[in-house]
Amino acid sequence: MSDENTIQEAAKAQGQEAQKVDWRSGLSEDTRGNESIKNFGDVDALAKAFIETKRMQGNSVHLLGEDASAEQRANQMMELASKIGTAVPGEDAYKIMQDKLPEMFNNEMANAIVAANRPEEYQKYTTPEGIEDVGDQWMKIAFDSNLTDAQNSAMLKNLNEQTVAANTEFQVQHDAALKKLHEDFGSAYDDRRSAAHKAAKMMADKTGVTAFADAFAEGAETSDTFRLFAGIAAALGAEGNSTARDNTMDVHTNTPAEASKAIAEINNNNKHDYWTEPAGTSYRKVLDDKMVRLMGESRSH
């Protein structure tokens, strides 16, 4: 670059700098020294700032004081509505406010905001897909609690998920308990359940407590209830469950544990009728048939 060009560029830069300073020279001394304009390099920058300020003024709302009248407050709400398109925040804005300013939701304004976002009447709440109709009572509570439709749907979904999970867990536990009952009682399961049901009905007749009998009738008895009344039935029928000549081989169906115990008692007693009864008698046949049955019951599950 030549010396002449260098001189020209320097002069141009100096002229621009002078222009930036000189634009304030026509202002009064007080205005010229005001801090608000000292950072504006030229008139164009000042004009742009002025235009932006006017634009912001046009979109601003002057907050009323505590002594404002009801009419003034109403007018302000109308002014606010004209500027943002609605007098209250929408769902998304409401959630942001709820997350960031929880203290706002402890006063009457918060209730008004929430109420404005709920349906006009409780019948207009929507039920999420896959969830059965929860009825008017629930919807009325949601309405009185100022829940928005989205909040109500979220609560219903959450409750439904918890209910499904609880029912699934209950069913798993119920199935496991039922499987254990079948394993413990084996082929005696149906026999013992029938006896337990009868014992429960006997209790209902004598005490008026029908819950246990009803559970058996509906197939909804628990494992503990089954075992309790099966034990009661066994105790009530113990005296009539043996033959005249054989106390160890009862005529009712045995559980695997009971059958195994009865077989062991026979095998460990060489004076038992099973070992001493001559072949060919009718009682011999009864003993043989019962031993076969005991062996089958000891293996049943």
Residue-wise pLDDT tens digits, 211-252: 999 999 998 888 888 888 888 887 776 434 444 444 444 446
What span, in angstroms and rounded, lies between the C-alpha atoms of 85 and 73? 17
3 state SS of 209: coil
Q: How much is the average pLDDT of 106-111?
A: 59
Tokens encoding 265? 């008692």
Average pLDDT score, the chain: 75
Instruction: Please state, for a pLDDT cut of 90, what percent of the chain lies above it.
Output: 3
Domain boundaries, the chain: 88-160, 245-301
Q: What is the pLDDT of residue 23?
A: 76
Q: How much is the average pLDDT of 255-268?
A: 80
pLDDT band at 4 (very low <50, low <70, confident <90, very high): low
Q: How much is the average pLDDT of 172-199?
A: 88
Type of residue found at 161: E
Q: Say if residue 57's pLDDT is above 70.
A: no
Residue 108: in which H helix or E strand, if any? helix 108-117
Q: How much is the average pLDDT of 134-138?
A: 85
Beta carbons of 128 and 142 less than 8 angstroms apart: no
Higher pLDDT pick, 130 / 107: 130
At 17-49, the pLDDT tens digits run 555 455 777 778 778 778 887 777 788 887 887
Type of residue found at 93: A
What span, in angstroms and rounded, lies between the C-alpha atoms of 133 and 154? 15
Q: How much is the average pLDDT of 48-77?
A: 74
Q: Say if residue 86's pLDDT is above 60.
A: no
Q: How much is the average pLDDT of 78-104?
A: 61
Q: What is the pLDDT of residue 119?
A: 84
**Most confidently predicted of 107-121, 216-230, 275-289:** 216-230
Q: What is the pLDDT of residue 144?
A: 85
120, 126, 132, 134: CA torsion to nearest 10: -20
Residue 192, exposed/middle/buried by CB under 10 A (0-12, 13-18, 19+)? buried
Beta carbons of 87 and 116 less than 8 angstroms apart: yes
The residue written with tokens 């009447």 in the block is 121
